[in-house]
Structure 1
């Protein structure tokens, strides 16, 4: 049971990040989706599934790697929906604007 714990946590992180990015696209949620996709590529060990395309005897493209590709596509959509990165104008605090 212990070898499946971390891959399941990584998979839940991937699903939660992509769902949040689809629900509320922003730079933050799209960035979290990119991080989740990269973590999933390296942490999906026991949950990889069938090998679709073999690079060599030890490496290949698996079914679970397609989840990372889908998540990266959703992240790109989220970045596009969030628009250009514009720093917010500096807001002055009300207490500093009052004159006593």
Structure 2
């Protein structure tokens, strides 16, 4: 396994771990961790991208792996909203 594939797998696992933490305990820090992991995943998912779903230019487009970042950002937004609601109740 090449170093690039290994690093991509590490970033994907960090995204999954941060999303799981945020879903289990939606606090500001866990939501922020999902945002950071999602952004890092978009930058480092090259070897694991999959098919191109939408082409923007001949060299750039939306891939299957990019959808994981979108899901991560939705989870982070939910986490921020839940954390804010729980802070108001306290």
Unpaired stretches in structure 2, ≥5 consecutive residues: none
Higher strand share: 2
Q: SS at the partner of 1:78? A: helix
Higher helix share: 2
TM-aligned CA deviation for residue 3 of structure 1 = 2.4
Alpha-carbon displacement from aligned partner over 1:48-96 (angstroms, at most 9, x marks no partner): 0000000011000000100000000000000000016x7xxxxxxxxxx
Unpaired stretches in structure 1, ≥5 consecutive residues: 87-100
Residue of structure 1 in register with 2:24 after alignment: 23
Counterpart Cα distance in 2 of 1:53 and 1:5: 26
TM-score normalised per structure 2? 0.91
Q: Decide which structure has the larger Cα Rg and report it.
A: 1
Residue of structure 2 in register with 1:57 after alignment: 58
Show structure 1 runs of 4+ deviating over 6 A.
Answer: none
RMSD in angstroms over aligned alpha carbons?
Answer: 1.4
Counterpart Cα distance in 2 of 1:3 and 1:43: 8
Q: SS at the partner of 1:25? A: coil
TM-aligned CA deviation for residue 20 of structure 1 = 0.4
Aligned residues: 86
